[in-house]
Amino acid sequence: MSNPFPFDKSTEKIINAVAALIVVLDENGRIRFFNKACEKLTGYSFSEMEDRYVWSLLRPKEIDATKKIFDKLVRQQAPNENINHWVDKQGHSHLISWSNTVVKNRGADKPYIVGTGIDISDHSATMDMLAESGAKLKAIVDSAIDGIIIADVQGKIEQVNSAVGKMFGYDPAELEGRNVSILMPEPDRHRHDGYLHSYLETREKKIIDIGREVTGQRKDQSTFPLYLSITEVFFDHTRSFVALLHDLTERNKYLEELHQAQKMEALGQLTGGLAHDFNNLLTVILGDLEMLHNSVSNAEGRELLDDAIASVDLGTQLIDRLLAFGRRQALSPKVINVNRLLSGMKLMLRRTIGENIKLEEAFTEKIWPVYADPGLIETAILNLMLNARDAMPEGGKITLQTGNHVKDYGKKDTSDPAAESYVRISVVDNGTGMSPDTLDHIYEPFFTTKPSGSGTGLGLSMVYGFVKQSGGNINISSQLGQGTTVDIYLPKARDGMTTQKKPEVVKHLQLRGRGETILYVEDDPRVRQINARRLLELGYNVYTAKDGPSALDILAKQGRADLLFTDIVMPGGMSGKELADYARKQQPDIKVLLTTGYAKPLSSGGYAGENVLMKPYSKEVLAAYLRQIFED
């Protein structure tokens, strides 16, 4: 097969004669030329390697880092250098030092990458390379993104690159000549020399040539996760160890956030499902209690029924909290000014936290408007204030702050009106603070550090769910004895955002129907029965169906209905929203009221433009929604 990279014959002959490894890659990393030195080192012929990705020759753990170096080279088209291992046909590993250059053939649009390599794994080649290219090797080591440490058999540091200094907070000169164990926390620091001596005596590779996760210790004594790979090398008949270190802080943070999100999503689905069934049950209980109330004449009986109805309302509030945690509650967002909202809460908050706690405010004057549910913002702030108060049993100070932020949470920028703009609301206390273990579980439902009977453990999980459902974020920082800061970030309102309106309950005489026909669809027979009775008592003609297909059959046979009142989540493969779409095709002027005990966020646009009534609801609220829809 002809060489796709057009060297002339004399040049190709020279390149194949040199001892250095020379490989030509296209912009995607495919091999386009492979000189004789490469064939000799790897045992592969050029015909075997042509069009294969060069990554196939690397150690698996080095592929990602090498790809990043390669991509940077292609983008910037500026020479660079790197070190990696090539694995030959027999599985042997060779440490190669590379110098890479981007070139273009005359008339060609796409670049080629020419890599010139030296095998530095063999001690004689290493000795020659160090003798002739010591400065070059140091430049390569210093340019690496990951940390590189060279240490002798006693563990004494001979050389480190700049990345190690940045990673551990030292000037590189501070580390040279010191034992590498200075970069380790206990007990690893104490055990390190023993591990090293054991290897030199037994040659048993417990840590050599084996990548693993370890903990590093910075100059300020703080610790962080590392991926460590140690290789034994020889320099001029002297054994040394080369350690490659990659900081895993960001990766572990991402994995932790992913795990937390997955856990919260799973719990949200569970609570959402329970809420759906429980709300159906509460709808039936509330309907039955209302009918009993109408038939009981003595005061004691009515009082007992009023208590029972009030208990249903308490159950509804508990379910609302679960739905808030699961990010499945129905929102009533408005364009609001959080400074005015919080100022309006001032008196209530002062009474709530008590006289032994000082309340201070630090509001940004030109605060951006936000698009969120004001009632849920108030509930969230109240929950946070109560938590702060409970963390200061001997008194203290709480500071309520607001600010404008853009794109990256915590990056202050009050001038950029871009779409990714947020308003921050912060509650800062100087109370007892929380341990890292407590912070790991802080958003979980029913987790609480308060004594039994002092809290449900749903407060912060509800705040978390509301903020996430609103398109924002929440961050909590805390240290034992240093207090706690909770930052809530809510999206800046965009032009054209409007407030969703809910029907208001009006006087009883205005709530009755005027003989309109309602097609009522509900899969739960108990809920269907109680609401059908309610609708009849309100003066409507009612047809009932258990699912979407049955409802469409009724609509086809009866000719028309004035309103479709349907549950959203139903069996049979057709949702209430889909049923409404089909019904409008048969009867374009039909009005629609959706209902559910388990709704996806209205702010997501899933039911945009539809009237939605959340279960459970009283007969009076149902009547108000219906009259509002009929009179619009």
Phi, psi of 571 (to 5 degrees): -75, 170
Say if 34 falls within a structural domain. Answer: yes
The alpha carbon dihedral of 288, 294, 298, 303 has a sign of positive
Same domain, 353 and 456: yes
Same domain, 421 and 546: no
Same domain, 486 and 340: yes
The CATH number for 223's domain is 3.30.450.20
Single residue among 298, 322, 346 that ends a domain in this structure: 322
Residue 275 near residue 319 (C-beta atoms within 8 A): yes
Residue 564 near residue 571 (C-beta atoms within 8 A): no
H helices of 421-506, in order, are 436-440, 459-469
Q: Where are the beta strands (DSSP E) in 92-156?
A: 93-103, 112-119, 147-152
Say if 500 falls within a structural domain. Answer: no
The CATH number for 583's domain is 3.40.50.2300
Mean pLDDT, the chain, integer: 80
Same domain, 200 and 275: no
Same domain, 487 and 338: yes
Say if 502 falls within a structural domain. Answer: no
- Average pLDDT (280-296) is 83
Say if 327 falls within a structural domain. Answer: no
Say if 169 falls within a structural domain. Answer: yes
The alpha carbon dihedral of 12, 17, 18, 19 has a sign of positive
Residue 558 near residue 584 (C-beta atoms within 8 A): no
Residue-wise burial string across 375-390, b where 16 or more C-beta atoms lie within 10 A, e elsewhere: ebbbbbbbbbbebbbb
Q: Residue 205 has what pLDDT?
A: 66
Same domain, 308 and 347: no
Burial class (CB in 10 A: 0-12, 13-18, 19+), 153: middle
Range of the structural domain that residue 574 is part of: 508-631
The CATH number for 377's domain is 3.30.565.10
Same domain, 370 and 466: yes
What does the DSSP 8-state code read for residue 330?
P
Residue-wise burial string across 593-617, b where 16 or more C-beta atoms lie within 10 A, e elsewhere: bbbbbbbbbbbeeebeeebbbbbbb
Single residue among 247, 262, 280 that ends a domain in this structure: 247
Q: Does 113 score more than 80 pLDDT?
A: yes
Say if 4 falls within a structural domain. Answer: no
pLDDT in tens, 166-197: 999 999 888 988 988 889 888 888 877 777 77
Residue 536 near residue 566 (C-beta atoms within 8 A): no
Q: Residue 410 has what pLDDT?
A: 46
Q: Does 418 score more than 50 pLDDT?
A: no
Say if 1 falls within a structural domain. Answer: no
Same domain, 274 and 303: yes
519 forms beta bridges with: 543, 564
Q: Does 131 score more than 70 pLDDT?
A: no
Same domain, 424 and 536: no
Same domain, 236 and 261: no
The number of domains in the chain is 5
236 band by pLDDT with thresholds 50, 70 and 90: low
pLDDT in tens, 346-385: 888 888 888 889 999 999 989 999 988 887 888 888 888 8
- Compute the radius of gyration of the chain from its Cα atoms: 35
Q: Where are the beta strands (DSSP E) in 460-562?
A: 473-479, 483-491, 517-521, 541-545
Same domain, 188 and 239: yes
Q: Residue 136 has what pLDDT?
A: 59
Same domain, 230 and 162: yes
Single residue among 138, 156, 177 that ends a domain in this structure: 138
- Average pLDDT (422-438) is 88
pLDDT in tens, 133-168: 555 556 666 777 788 888 888 888 988 888 898 999
Q: Does 320 score more than 70 pLDDT?
A: no
Long-range CB contact pairs, 410-416, < 8 A, 24+: 410/475, 410/487, 414/364, 414/366
Say if 2 falls within a structural domain. Answer: no
One-letter amino acid for residue 194 of the chain: G
